[in-house]
Amino acid sequence: MARPRRHDPERRERIVDAALRVVGRSGISGLSHRTVAAEADVPLGSTTYHFASLDELLVAALRKADGGFGPLLRERVALAGPETDLASALARLLGEWLGGRRARVELEYELYLAALRRPALRPVAAEWAETVVSVLSPYSDPVTARALVALMDGICLQVLLTGVAHDEEYTREMLARVLRPA
């Protein structure tokens, strides 16, 4: 007689959360269905049932990890007024984000940069950038908004890779240069 199937509606989310913990602790190279199943305390078959491939699991993890700069930017009113100094507001927000839980920022960038080798992740990584571009476009033209995103990504990566503290004044000056009319 077959055992009744256990109802566990949160299992998929627990698996995604476990994948985020595994990547946060061991990097993308430490991610496997087996390590995630062990972390989530679910049978191995559950991970492959919900996610046929590791790329599918990484896409779900990347979507869940998007609690970073884009949403912070969206929810802030600091950019709301036409008199707002956009460069200062962005530099301050970037510093706040980088000054938060560093492990979380590193995890987000690790997942974001995984798209270099995993094409399945590219659309989600592109969505992250487009979120920031769409928020910034009303304050500048779309081309300048993309340049701002590229500059902020570069500054974030330098802070993460070198361990140097975020320099808000430097960031403000560089952003102001991009925003300066030609």
Classify 169 as helix, strand or coil: helix
Residue spans of alpha helices (H) in 86-167: 86-98, 102-113, 122-136, 142-162
Q: Is the pLDDT of residue 5 over 60?
A: no
**pLDDT-derived band at 169, boundaries 50, 70, 90:** very high
pLDDT higher than 80, residue 160: yes
CA distance 147 to 150: 5
- What pLDDT was estimated at residue 50? 94
- pLDDT, tens only, 36-60: 999 999 999 999 999 999 999 999 9
Residue type, 152: M
What percentage of the chain carries pLDDT values higher than 70? 92
Q: What is the pTM of this model?
A: 0.83
Of 4-13, 86-95, 155-164, which range is least confident?
4-13
What the block records as the tokens of 59 is: 């896409």
Half-sphere exposure of 163 (CA within 13 A, CB side): 0
Res. 6 pLDDT band, cuts 50 70 90: low
At 121-137, the pLDDT tens digits run: 999 889 888 888 988 88
Is 24's pLDDT higher than 80?
Answer: yes
pLDDT for 182: 62
Per residue in 56-78, pLDDT (tens digit) is 999 999 888 876 777 778 877 55
Q: Percentage of the chain surpassing pLDDT 90? A: 57
Domains along the sequence of the chain with CATH:
11-63 (1.10.10.60), 66-179 (1.10.357.10)
pLDDT of res. 63: 87
Q: pLDDT at position 71, please?
A: 77
Is the pLDDT at 120 greater than 70? The verdict is yes
Q: What angle do CA 130, 126, 162 make, to 5 degrees?
A: 100
In this predicted structure, what is the pLDDT of residue 70? Answer: 77
